[in-house]
Amino acid sequence: EPEVTQTPSHQVTQMGQEVILRCVPISNHLYFYWYRQILGQKVEFLVSFYNNEISEKSEIFDDQFSVERPDGSNFTLKIRSTKLEDSAMYFCASRIAGGPTDTQYFGPGTRLTVL
Protein backbone atom coordinates (compact mmCIF):
# COMPACT_ATOMS: atom_id res chain seq x y z
CA GLU A 1 0.00 0.00 0.00
CA PRO A 2 1.45 3.40 -0.93
CA GLU A 3 2.51 5.57 1.97
CA VAL A 4 3.98 8.95 2.78
CA THR A 5 7.65 8.83 3.71
CA GLN A 6 9.73 11.36 5.60
CA THR A 7 13.43 11.84 6.12
CA PRO A 8 15.26 12.06 8.38
CA SER A 9 13.41 10.35 11.20
CA HIS A 10 15.33 12.41 13.74
CA GLN A 11 17.28 15.62 13.24
CA VAL A 12 19.37 17.35 15.87
CA THR A 13 20.52 20.88 15.18
CA GLN A 14 21.95 23.91 16.91
CA MET A 15 19.85 27.00 17.49
CA GLY A 16 20.15 29.37 14.56
CA GLN A 17 20.93 26.67 12.01
CA GLU A 18 18.83 25.97 8.95
CA VAL A 19 17.10 22.63 8.59
CA ILE A 20 15.26 21.02 5.72
CA LEU A 21 12.75 18.30 6.39
CA ARG A 22 11.87 16.11 3.48
CA CYS A 23 8.71 14.30 2.53
CA VAL A 24 7.70 12.09 -0.36
CA PRO A 25 3.90 12.18 -0.66
CA ILE A 26 1.81 9.41 -2.15
CA SER A 27 2.39 9.59 -5.88
CA ASN A 28 -1.06 10.48 -7.21
CA HIS A 29 -1.91 12.91 -4.42
CA LEU A 30 -2.30 16.58 -5.23
CA TYR A 31 -2.54 18.29 -1.85
CA PHE A 32 0.27 18.46 0.65
CA TYR A 33 0.45 19.55 4.26
CA TRP A 34 2.84 20.08 7.12
CA TYR A 35 1.81 19.77 10.76
CA ARG A 36 3.80 19.85 13.96
CA GLN A 37 3.34 18.30 17.36
CA ILE A 38 5.22 19.63 20.33
CA LEU A 39 5.92 16.79 22.75
CA GLY A 40 2.79 15.77 24.61
CA GLN A 41 0.59 18.29 22.85
CA LYS A 42 -1.90 18.25 20.03
CA VAL A 43 -1.11 18.21 16.34
CA GLU A 44 -1.11 21.71 14.83
CA PHE A 45 -1.53 22.73 11.21
CA LEU A 46 1.33 24.67 9.64
CA VAL A 47 0.71 24.95 5.92
CA SER A 48 -1.11 23.47 2.95
CA PHE A 49 0.22 23.39 -0.59
CA TYR A 50 -1.52 22.84 -3.89
CA ASN A 51 -0.68 23.52 -7.52
CA ASN A 52 2.81 24.68 -6.57
CA GLU A 53 1.73 27.32 -4.15
CA ILE A 54 0.71 27.76 -0.55
CA SER A 55 -3.07 27.60 -0.21
CA GLU A 56 -3.27 28.27 3.51
CA LYS A 57 -0.89 28.81 6.41
CA SER A 58 -1.26 29.20 10.13
CA GLU A 59 0.13 31.95 12.35
CA ILE A 60 2.88 29.53 13.36
CA PHE A 61 4.15 29.52 9.78
CA ASP A 62 6.07 32.77 9.89
CA ASP A 63 8.89 34.07 7.70
CA GLN A 64 11.30 31.52 9.15
CA PHE A 65 9.39 28.74 7.42
CA SER A 66 9.12 27.92 3.75
CA VAL A 67 7.90 25.00 1.68
CA GLU A 68 8.86 23.79 -1.72
CA ARG A 69 8.13 21.04 -4.16
CA PRO A 70 11.44 21.02 -5.99
CA ASP A 71 10.60 18.10 -8.26
CA GLY A 72 7.72 15.78 -8.98
CA SER A 73 8.10 13.75 -5.84
CA ASN A 74 9.60 15.65 -2.90
CA PHE A 75 7.91 18.17 -0.65
CA THR A 76 10.17 20.03 1.76
CA LEU A 77 9.82 22.21 4.83
CA LYS A 78 12.68 24.59 5.53
CA ILE A 79 13.25 26.38 8.80
CA ARG A 80 15.79 29.12 8.19
CA SER A 81 17.03 29.88 11.68
CA THR A 82 15.85 27.35 14.19
CA LYS A 83 14.77 28.31 17.70
CA LEU A 84 14.51 26.13 20.78
CA GLU A 85 10.73 26.25 20.52
CA ASP A 86 10.87 24.68 17.06
CA SER A 87 11.69 21.38 18.72
CA ALA A 88 8.76 19.13 17.81
CA MET A 89 7.63 16.25 15.66
CA TYR A 90 6.90 17.43 12.15
CA PHE A 91 4.40 15.48 10.10
CA CYS A 92 3.89 15.64 6.37
CA ALA A 93 0.53 14.61 4.93
CA SER A 94 -0.89 14.23 1.46
CA ARG A 95 -4.37 13.93 0.10
CA ILE A 96 -6.12 13.04 -3.10
CA ALA A 97 -9.23 15.11 -3.57
CA GLY A 98 -12.66 13.61 -3.92
CA GLY A 99 -14.10 10.16 -3.52
CA PRO A 100 -14.32 7.88 -0.49
CA THR A 101 -10.58 7.97 0.13
CA ASP A 102 -10.41 11.77 0.34
CA THR A 103 -8.50 12.07 3.55
CA GLN A 104 -5.06 13.11 4.68
CA TYR A 105 -2.51 10.37 5.07
CA PHE A 106 0.40 11.12 7.33
CA GLY A 107 4.04 10.22 7.15
CA PRO A 108 5.86 8.77 10.16
CA GLY A 109 7.18 12.18 11.18
CA THR A 110 10.57 13.82 11.70
CA ARG A 111 11.55 14.55 15.27
CA LEU A 112 13.43 17.85 15.31
CA THR A 113 15.54 18.64 18.34
CA VAL A 114 17.01 22.14 18.59
CA LEU A 115 19.82 22.53 21.10
Residues of this chain that interact with other proteins (CB under 8 A) are 30-31, 33, 35, 41-45, 48-51, 55-56, 58, 89, 91, 93, 95, 102-109, 111
Smallest CA-to-CA distance from 43 within 30, 26, 60 is with 60
Report how far Cα 107 is from the mean position of its chain's Cα atoms: 9
Pick 79 or 93: Cβ nearer other proteins: 93
The distance of closest approach from Cβ of residue 95 to other proteins in the complex, given in angstroms and rounded to an integer, is 7
Q: Which is closer to other proteins, CB of 79 or CB of 109?
A: 109
Nearer to other proteins by Cβ, of 78 and 105: the residue is 105
- Which CA distances in Å does 70 have to 37, 39, 74? 25, 30, 6
Report in angstroms how near the CB of residue 30 gets to other proteins at its nearest: 8
Q: Tell me the helix, strand and coil percentages in the chain, rounded to 5.
A: 5, 50, 45
